[in-house]
Amino acid sequence: MTAKPNTNSLHHFMLISMPQMEDENFVRSLVYICEHSEKGAMGLVINRANDIAFTDILPQLDISDANVIDVEQPIFTGGPVQPEHGFVLHTPLRNKQWKSSIRVSEDLCLTTSSDVINDIAHAAGPEHSLIALGYAGWGPGQLEQELAENAWLCCPFDADIVFNMAPEDRFQAAADLLGIDINLISTKIGHG
């Protein structure tokens, strides 16, 4: 059974792609929904780490590598829209606000400025963070149509999955929240 939000918004929920998903950007993907309204939706794919190292992005952001701690944080492919732009999904830090940081929930923020990356590199960042390049976007009614076509399952946000699990384990862990073995779902749609 799919978890239902209290309103028609899927804001602060996660989407699990169904096996019949044909868009290669979303096959076996888990997406955190940062924003969802009548104007559309925006989310980040949170289970696809790419080959870019954290230290590789620092020069592009004009961040000095002096005194940088050894950060072994994967960089994610957040989606096909604006892959040249970075997004940081992170827990809030008391008495600290980064430029262009917005609260997406009580316990989660989204930041697009490089100051949070600088702080992460120098051990002054948030306790938990996920860095993604690009995002997933849907126009008005598009996500609702994909849900009606059974392209996605909806599940509640789980910080432990997002911040404490290996990227390759997140997809099934989200399905486990719903009591589903995603590998047993048929890719065929129809009535027999």
What tens digit of pLDDT does each residue of 12-50 get? 999 999 998 989 999 999 999 999 999 999 999 999 999
User: What CATH number is given for 13-85+129-184 in this structure?
Assistant: 3.40.1740.10
Say whether 32 sits in a helix, a strand or coil: strand
Taking 90 as the threshold, does the pLDDT of residue 159 lie above it? yes
For residue 20, give both structure tokens.
């019949």
pTM: 0.90
Distance CA 167, CA 24 (A): 17
What average pLDDT does range 104-132 have in this prediction?
A: 93
What tens digit of pLDDT does each residue of 72-101 get? 889 999 999 999 999 999 999 888 888 889
* DSSP 8-state secondary structure symbol assigned to residue 184: G
The closest of 118, 8, 2, 107 to 69, measured between CA atoms, is 118
Taking 70 as the threshold, does the pLDDT of residue 192 lie above it? no
